[in-house]
Structure formats: structure tokens, C-alpha cells
């Protein structure tokens, strides 16, 4: 049985970023949200769109394995986002002169369709990308199109033809805001007029009151040392904080005393169980990485440092010198596995760091976990 846990709707520790994103969307601007998975990027855009009263259309580029699939995702996003009678009526009228047709499903939902064998996919792309702008202009509404995992487009758009056209439309469309979600801000974004919002780890002082409020709502009492232990484990990672809380709830029958007090030992036990659950995922992840990047991860897990380029650190951990180390760090940042210098080159997934230390130090189930 999967444990459920009430999560507060308000963003935690992101008020400044929420104000920034809301301001951009209110001015019909475009932006890129840079941060590692689990940092709250999608939630930030959704909250900001709610603040300015904008409709949100989400496209996960990770699901697009080729151009036709990308078009299907665009069509699906339009059909599931614009569902009010005025919006449906406008779409039905607008597509009469376009290579797209509207079909009503038995569920009552609208579906956009076309003849894939006879229709030019490039023209379809232009048509589907123009439709949200046309809706916003005709109905005087705000629209935000969110592209998650945006760089993944290049896995099939090798010539970057589709990406270049999309960038052009982002600059030209005035009634639709685009929010790209990625791990880092690439050079073309920094050279454009697009605003960039960086999401780092959530500050400890912001996570602690949230943790206390959630656990009180569960009827738990966390000892002060248990709070410190919890925060030490999650290291400001929102996704890991939720995962550890859910693990605590799942095991509350075994780990929580009758007076519903949670001790540091309870947190350790739940963290150990969570790491065990994630071990296969971590093993699979390492299989996808070159040995140079694995070596960097192992070094940072065992011996965290703000200066991995230091000669003493390189010699101590037998790392590649010069460009080899820099390339490994840059690739790990691009993958969302390591923070950049602004956050001290920490591993972004705290429980991955715990698991790596276990492996390198020789796992002993009778010993408590060690967090950085």
C-alpha cells in the first residue's frame, strides 16, 4: 500500500522566485527555470500562472522520441488545456482553414487529428504552435506553455531545425509566455531576452518550519535531534524531503512510539529503507555514466569539497587533470547530478551520496547511515 501524505499547496522557500516568475508572466515574458529534478520547477510555474490568472499548457519533451510524437504531444496539450465552450468553439472555427481537424471523443473531450501519411509535419508544427497564440488573442486570456526537459528535443532534432523555429516563435509571440524547464541555462538562453530563474537547494531555515507543520498535521512529534537528522539527510532537496516523509509514514507502525514521537533513530531507519529501495535505480544510473564521471561522484560523496579542481584533491582521489575533470563536472551538472560552483559542487541527490558512501566503505546493515 502506497503511503499518502498531505503536502501544503504553498511553495516552500521559493517566495522570491515566485515573485520573479509571476512578474515575468504578468508582462507576457518568457523564461527558463533552471534546477535539478525535485527542486520544484514545475510547481513554481504553476503557482505563478495561478497568481496572474494564466492557463498552463504542459509538454514533456522527454516523451517525444520523434517529430510525429512531438506533434501529438502539442495536440494533446492544446486539447486538454482549452476545454471551455468558448475555447472549443474558437478552435473548431479556426481549424477550418488549417490541416487539422477536431474530433469529439465519447468522453466529451476534444481531440485534434490529421492524416499523418499525407500531411506535411512541418506545416502541422507551425499550425499547432500558432493555435495557443490565436486563442489568447481572440479570447483575451493569458497562456503559459511549459516545455519540460526542453533540451531532450535534440535527441531526435539533430539538426536543431525544430528547436530554432521554436526559439523564433518564443521571441515573436506576444500573447503566449513560454517557460522552459531544464537543469542548466545554456548559452543561447543567456544571450536572449528570456529571463532565467535558478532554483538551488531550499534553505534549512525554510524547510524546518514546513517539516514541523506537516508532521504536526500527521499527529507526530519530532524530537529536535530528529529534525536535525532529517534536514541533514535531505540537504535542501525538496523531492528527497517528500520521499523521506512518505517513508516515515509508511513505516510509522514500526518506527514511531506509542506517543507518536519520532527520534533520530526512527529517521535513520526510514532513511536506510529508502536508500535500499533506491539502490537498483542508483545502480542503473551509474551504468549510464562514463568512468570519469562515476569517479567524480564517488569522490564528492566520500569527501565533499567546494574546490574539486584543487591539486591536492585531484591527487588524493586520482581524478583526471585539467579538461577531463572540467568536462566530467560540466556533464554531471547538465545531467542534474551535481550542483555548480555556486552551491559548492555538491551531489544534488543526497540519498545517492549516502548510497555511494555505503558502497565505497563497505555496507554493514548493523551500522547507521552516514550523511554529509
Q: What is the pLDDT along the chain (372 residues), one digit of tens a residue?
A: 344 555 656 689 999 999 999 999 999 999 999 998 888 899 999 999 999 999 999 999 999 999 999 999 999 999 999 999 999 999 999 999 888 999 888 777 889 988 766 568 888 999 999 999 999 999 999 999 999 998 899 999 999 999 999 999 998 998 999 999 999 888 888 788 899 999 999 999 999 999 999 888 888 888 999 999 999 999 999 989 999 998 988 876 554 556 678 899 999 999 999 999 999 999 999 999 999 999 999 999 999 999 999 999 999 999 987 778 999 999 999 999 999 998 999 999 999 999 999 998 876 544 555 565
| 180 found inside a domain | yes
Our count of domains for the chain comes to 2
Neighbours of 283 (CB within 10 A): 11
Which residue is associated with the grid cell 533506491? 278
Q: Do residues 179 and 233 both lie within one domain?
A: no
Rg (CA), the chain: 23
Q: Do residues 184 and 79 both lie within one domain?
A: yes
Nearest of 49, 57, 56 to residue 23 by alpha carbon: 49
Q: In a 10 Å sphere around its CB, with 0-12 CB exposed, 13-18 middle and 19+ buried, how is residue 163 labelled?
A: middle
Q: Do residues 259 and 179 both lie within one domain?
A: no
Q: At what angle do helices 85-94 and 121-139 cross, to 10 degrees?
A: 140
Which residue is associated with the grid cell 479556426? 94
Q: Do residues 106 and 229 both lie within one domain?
A: no
Q: Do residues 228 and 191 both lie within one domain?
A: no
Q: Do residues 214 and 195 both lie within one domain?
A: no
β-strand pairing of 261-262 with 221-222: parallel
3-state secondary structure of 88: helix
Residue ranges making up the domain that contains 299: 204-361
Domain ends where: 199, 221, 245? 199
Write down the pTM of the prediction. 0.84
| 327 found inside a domain | yes
| 145 found inside a domain | yes
Domain ends where: 179, 199, 219? 199
Give the integer Cα–Cα distance in Å for 228 and 149: 33
What CATH number does residue 128 fall under? Answer: 3.40.50.300
347, β-bridge pairs: 338
Q: Do residues 118 and 229 both lie within one domain?
A: no
| 369 found inside a domain | no
Q: Do residues 27 and 73 both lie within one domain?
A: yes
Q: Do residues 102 and 229 both lie within one domain?
A: no
Domain ends where: 166, 199, 232? 199
Q: Do residues 165 and 21 both lie within one domain?
A: yes
Amino acid at each position: 500500500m502506497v503511503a499518502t501524505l498531505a503536502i501544503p499547496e504553498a511553495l516552500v522557500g521559493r517566495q522570491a522566485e515566485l515573485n520573479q516568475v509571476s512578474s515575468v508572466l504578468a508582462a507576457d515574458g518568457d523564461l527558463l527555470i533552471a534546477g535539478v529534478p525535485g527542486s520544484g520547477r514545475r510547481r513554481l510555474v504553476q503557482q505563478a500562472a495561478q497568481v496572474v490568472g494564466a492557463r498552463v499548457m504542459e509538454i514533456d519533451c522527454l516523451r517525444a522520441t520523434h517529430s510525429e510524437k512531438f506533434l501529438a504531444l502539442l495536440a494533446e496539450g492544446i486539447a486538454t488545456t482549452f476545454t471551455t465552450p468558448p475555447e472549443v468553439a474558437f478552435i473548431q472555427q479556426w481549424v477550418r482553414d488549417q490541416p487539422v481537424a477536431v474530433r469529439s471523443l465519447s468522453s466529451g473531450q476534444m481531440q485534434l487529428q490529421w492524416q499523418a501519411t499525407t500531411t506535411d509535419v512541418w506545416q502541422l508544427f507551425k499550425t499547432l504552435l500558432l493555435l495557443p497564440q490565436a486563442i489568447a488573442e481572440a479570447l483575451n486570456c493569458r497562456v503559459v506553455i511549459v516545455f519540460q526537459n526542453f533540451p531532450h528535443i535534440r535527441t531526435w532534432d539533430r539538426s536543431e531545425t525544430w528547436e530554432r523555429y521554436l526559439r523564433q516563435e518564443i521571441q515573436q509571440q506576444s500573447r503566449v509566455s513560454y517557460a522552459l524547464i531544464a537543469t542548466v541555462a545554456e548559452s543561447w538562453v543567456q544571450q536572449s531576452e528570456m529571463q532565467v530563474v535558478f532554483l538551488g537547494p531550499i534553505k534549512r531555515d525554510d524547510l524546518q518550519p514546513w517539516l514541523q507543520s506537516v508532521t504536526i498535521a500527521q499527529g507526530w512529534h519530532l524530537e529536535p535531534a530528529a529534525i536535525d537528522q532529517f534536514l541533514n539527510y535531505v540537504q535542501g532537496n525538496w523531492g528527497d524531503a517528500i520521499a523521506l516523509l512518505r517513508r516515515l509514514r509508511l513505516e510509522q507502525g514500526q518506527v514511531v512510539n506509542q506517543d507518536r514521537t519520532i527520534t533520530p533513530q526512527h529517521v535513520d531507519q526510514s532513511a536506510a529503507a529508502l536508500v535500499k529501495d533506491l539502490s537498483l535505480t542508483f545502480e542503473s544510473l551509474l551504468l549510464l555514466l562514463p568512468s570519469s564521471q562515476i569517479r567524480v561522484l564517488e569522490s564528492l560523496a566520500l569527501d565533499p569539497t567546494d574546490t574539486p579542481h584543487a591539486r591536492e584533491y585531484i591527487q588524493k582521489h586520482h581524478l583526471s587533470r585539467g579538461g577531463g575533470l572540467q568536462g566530467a563536472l560540466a556533464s554531471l551538472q547538465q545531467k542534474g547530478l551535481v550542483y555548480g560552483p555556486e552551491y559548492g559542487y555538491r551531489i544534488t541527490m543526497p540519498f545517492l551520496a549516502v548510497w555511494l558512501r555505503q558502497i565505497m566503505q563497505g555496507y554493514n546493515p548493523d551500522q547507521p547511515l552516514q550523511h554529509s
